[in-house]
């Protein structure tokens, strides 16, 4: 049975090291190499569409969700990433557009054209003129196709078709072939709702990686993390506390369906932690690495405590004082 191993972290958590290790094993495939698979977890991705249809109940929420999702996929297939140093290309080929159209068709119960209020409020000047002229020329407004309002199928149909959709995207990945029963994906689900957002994968196995917050902030700062507060230690601490010191997150880490890995512990006690990881994944703890393996245990270890070199004494002291329960070294 295919296992979807979903490795997630708390931003700069070192989840990439666990992803690299599994990707380098001959009994795993990584369809997207070093790149993250974000179709499900991005704010306008698949899980967001699900929430618009079934969780955030409103007559027009599905219409907005579908519109955002289609725009996202349309832009995603053009988005270029680095496959290796100096080599850039598309992570997804054009097949993703047709796969998405077919998926939407299968989860649509019915649809109709309309011009709801939220669309009119956000009209550009051009569309305001177009809409006004349309009203004058056609009072009944049958042809004013500004929004295709979709009424989604039942939830179970959505989830069933979403699994098929995601599996097809993975198998059609343009950069790497999937030729093993087990594949690993990096940051493919929402770390704050991992169980819910993993429902679109076949036989999901969820791994969440945490790391010492000093090294997280250091990595954010040096790498200029685009989606996190990398420039101000006080903002970082508030951000970190809000999400990763909450009772909700602590409960997530204790869920039996999730394996919690501490970055430092995994690298410093590799044999013991590897045994625990392999038991969770139900794979052999003895492994063979591919030729030209990207996993380097000794190199990864050098990232532990690197914040000592990159952060000021004030920044390190502030984190140690305010996040003392989360320190790992």
Residue 50 lies in a domain: no
61-95 residues labelled b (16+ CB within 10 A) or e (exposed):
bbbbbbbbbbebbeebbeeebebeeeeeebbbeee
Assess if residue 22 is contained within a domain: yes
- Classify residue 277: in a domain, yes or no: yes
Please indicate, yes or no, if residue 39 is contained in any of the structural domains: no
51 located within any domain: no
**Do 181 and 167 share a structural domain?**
no
Domain assignment of residue 275, given as a range:
1-31+177-329
Whether residue 112 is found in the same domain as residue 155: yes
What per-residue confidence (pLDDT) applies to 311? 95
Clarify whether residues 21 and 77 are in a common domain. no
Last residue of a domain, one of 141, 176, 211: 176
Last residue within a domain, chosen from 154, 176, 198: 176
Residues 243 and 323 grouped into a single domain = yes
Residues 64 and 143 in one domain: yes
Close Cβ partners of 290 (under 8 Å, ≥ 6 residues apart): 24, 25, 26
**Considering the entire predicted model, what is its pTM?**
0.90
Q: Indicate whether 263 and 207 sit together in one domain.
A: yes
Backbone angles phi, psi at 230, to 5 degrees: -95, -5
**Pair (133, 184) in one structural domain:** no
My answer on whether 167 and 187 are in the same domain is: no
Asked whether residue 47 is domain-assigned, the answer is no
Is residue 240 within 8 A of residue 323, CB to CB? The reply is: yes
Instruction: Answer yes or no: is 43 within a domain.
Output: no
Residues 217 and 289 in one domain: yes
Instruction: Indicate if 198 and 102 belong to the same structural domain.
Output: no
Q: Where are the beta strands (DSSP E) in 115-181?
A: 147-152
Q: Which residues share a beta bridge with 148?
A: 113
Nearest to 43 by CA among 67, 72, 12, 15: 72
Length of the chain: 329
Which phi and psi angles does 13 have, rounded to 5°?
Answer: -85, -10
Name the pairing type of β-strands 108-114 and 147-152.
antiparallel
Return all residues near 37 (Cβ < 8 A) that are at least 6 apart.
31, 170, 185, 186, 187, 188
Tell which residue, 321, 322, 293, 326, has the closest CA to residue 33.
293
Q: Domain of 265: which CATH number?
A: 3.40.50.300
| Residue closest to 38 by CA, chosen among 197, 225, 230 | 197
Number of domains in the chain: 2
Do residue 158 and residue 234 come from a single domain? no
Tokens of 210: 């945490």
pLDDT (tens place) for every residue of the chain, 329 residues total: 778 999 999 888 999 999 999 999 999 988 888 889 999 999 999 999 999 999 988 999 999 999 999 999 999 988 887 776 677 888 888 899 999 999 999 999 999 988 888 888 888 888 877 777 777 776 555 556 678 899 999 999 999 999 999 999 998 875 555 666 789 999 999 999 999 999 999 999 999 999 999 999 999 998 777 788 888 999 999 999 999 999 999 999 999 999 999 999 999 999 999 999 999 999 998 888 888 888 899 999 999 999 999 999 999 999 999 999 999 99
Question: Could you say which of 152, 176, 200 is where a domain stops?
Answer: 176
Residues 189 and 76 in one domain: no
Element (H, E) at 309: helix 307-310
Residue 37: inside a domain: no
């Amino acid at each position: 049975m295919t296992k979807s191993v979903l490795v997630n972290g708390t931003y700069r958590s070192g989840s990439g090291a666990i992803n690299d290790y599994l990707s380098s094993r001959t009994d795993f495939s990584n369809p997207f190499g070093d790149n993250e698979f974000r179709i499900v977890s991005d704010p306008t991705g698949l899980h967001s569409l699900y929430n618009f249809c079934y969780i955030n109940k409103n007559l027009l929420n599905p219409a907005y969700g579908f519109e955002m999702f289609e725009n996202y996929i349309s832009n995603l297939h053009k988005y270029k990433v680095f496959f290796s140093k100096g080599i850039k290309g598309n992570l997804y080929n054009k097949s993703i557009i047709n796969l998405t159209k077919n998926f939407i068709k299968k989860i649509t119960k019915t649809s109709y054209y309309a011009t709801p209020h939220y669309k009119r409020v956000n009209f550009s000047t051009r569309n305001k003129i177009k809409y006004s002229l349309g009203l004058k020329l056609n009072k009944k407004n049958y042809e004013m196709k500004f929004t295709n309002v979709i009424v989604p199928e039942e939830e179970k149909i959505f989830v069933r078709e979403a699994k098929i959709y995601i599996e097809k995207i993975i198998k059609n990945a343009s950069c790497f072939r999937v030729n093993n029963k087990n594949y690993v994906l990096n940051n493919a689900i929402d770390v704050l709702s991992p169980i819910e957002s993993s429902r679109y994968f076949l036989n999901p196995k969820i791994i969440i990686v945490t790391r010492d917050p000093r090294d997280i902030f250091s990595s954010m700062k040096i790498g200029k993390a685009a989606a996190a507060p990398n420039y101000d230690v006080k903002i970082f601490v508030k951000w970190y506390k809000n999400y990763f010191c909450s009772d909700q997150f602590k409960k997530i880490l204790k869920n039996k369906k999730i394996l919690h890995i501490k970055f430092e512990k995994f690298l410093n006690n590799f044999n013991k932690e590897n045994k625990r990881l392999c038991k969770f994944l139900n794979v052999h703890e003895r492994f063979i690495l591919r030729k030209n393996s990207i996993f380097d245990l000794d190199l990864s270890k050098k990232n532990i405590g690197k914040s000592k070199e990159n952060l000021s004494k004030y920044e390190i002291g502030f984190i140690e004082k305010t996040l003392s329960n989360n320190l790992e070294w």
